[in-house]
């Protein structure tokens, strides 16, 4: 059978066996789901830089159109996004906290999911014991809003070196270690104890 006849036969077969072919593809996909997932992920990682470069070139060539699409999307989904943020405040808090620390030059060695797990078990400030306000979405953060504190103030943030404390304590502690902070608090207490004695 020559090439043209083979092509014609294949076209006819596909036309008369559409449902059978479709079902066969579906069965194959179902039985090779994990393999396909692994292959897709491998290809995703392999072509990540290429996709980023392509997206960057497209955005540069179509900047105004991209910006307009972004503005339109945000306008249409404004309330939806606001409600999602309010209902998932801890997730946004964790991602934002990690992002800010990385932007400030710190090496963060835990994921947002790990920080969310820590937040789920932290109801009170680790230093003063005040109840933390996890509600969010009320504009400026309050004094009892949660914040990440580096216990020994290394530039590397690990789960065993961070605690979740209120913004008030974190602002007062600044870059002091816990030992230095306790010493500072004791100095203040001693000074005012003598003044009021």
Burial class (CB in 10 A: 0-12, 13-18, 19+), 133: middle
pLDDT of residue 106: 92
Pairing mode, strands 146-150 and 162-166: antiparallel
CA distance 110 to 48: 23
User: What crossing angle do the helices spanning 33-46 and 48-61 adopt, rounded to 10°?
Assistant: 60
pLDDT of residue 185: 92
- Segment-wise mean pLDDT, segments of 10 residues, the chain, 197 residues: 83 90 90 90 91 94 95 92 85 93 93 94 94 75 90 88 94 89 92 72
pLDDT of residue 1: 63
Q: In degrees rounded to 5, what are phi and psi of residue 12?
A: -65, -40
Cβ–Cβ < 8 Å for 112, 98: yes
Helix, strand, coil percent values for the chain (each to nearest 5): 70, 10, 25
pTM for the whole structure: 0.59
Could you give the domains of the chain? 3-46 (no CATH), 83-196 (3.30.40.220)
b/e per residue, 102-129, with b = 16+ CB within 10 A?
Answer: eeeebebebebeebeebbeeeeebbbee
> Which pair of tokens denotes residue 107?
């090496």
């Amino acid at each position: 059978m020559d090439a043209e006849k083979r092509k014609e036969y294949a076209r006819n077969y596909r036309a008369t066996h559409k449902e059978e072919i479709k079902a066969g593809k579906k069965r194959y996909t179902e039985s090779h789901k994990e393999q396909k997932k692994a292959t897709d992920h491998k290809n995703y990682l392999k072509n990540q830089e290429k996709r980023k470069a392509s997206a960057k070139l497209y955005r540069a060539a179509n900047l105004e159109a991209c910006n307009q699409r972004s503005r339109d999307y945000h306008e249409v989904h404004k309330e939806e996004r606001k409600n999602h943020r309010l209902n998932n405040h801890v997730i946004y808090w964790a991602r934002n906290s990690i992002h800010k620390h990385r932007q400030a030059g710190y090496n963060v060695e835990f994921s947002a999911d790990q920080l969310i797990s820590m937040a789920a078990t932290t109801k009170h400030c680790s230093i003063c014991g005040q109840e933390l306000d996890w509600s969010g979405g009320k504009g400026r953060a309050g004094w009892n809003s949660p914040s990440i504190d580096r216990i020994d103030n290394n530039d590397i943030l690990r789960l065993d070196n961070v605690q979740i404390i209120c913004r008030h304590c974190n602002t007062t502690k600044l870059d002091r270690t816990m030992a230095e902070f306790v010493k500072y608090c004791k100095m203040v207490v001693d000074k005012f104890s003598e003044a009021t004695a």
